[in-house]
Structure 1
Amino acid sequence: MNSNEVRRQWAERTGEYSPEYYAYYGPDERSESVRDLLERFVDPEASVLELGCSSGRHLAHLYDHGFENLTGIDVNDDAFDVMEETYPDLAAAGTFYNDTIEGVVGDFDDDRFDVVYSVETLQHLHPDVEWVLEDISRITDDLLITVENEGDDETAHSESADPDVSYVNDDFPLYHRDWNRVFTELGLLEVDVEVGDRDTVRAFRTSQE
Structure 2
Amino acid sequence: MAYSNWLIYGALLTGQRLDLAHWLQWYAFDVIGSITFQRRFGFLERRHDVDEMISKINDGLELVKIIGENYWPDTMGKFLKKLQREIDEADKGGHLSEYVTYQESLKLPYLQATLKEAMRMHPAVGFPLERYVPEGGAEVCGYNLPAGTNISTSAPLMHIDKGVFGHDARIFRPERWLEASPENLSLMDRTFMAFGHGSRTCIGKNISLMEMGKLIPQLFRHFDIEWA
Give the TM-score category using the shorter length: under 0.3
What's the TM-score once normalised by structure 1's chain length?
0.25
Kindly name which structure, 1 or 2, has the bigger radius of gyration based on alpha carbons: 2
Higher helix share: 2
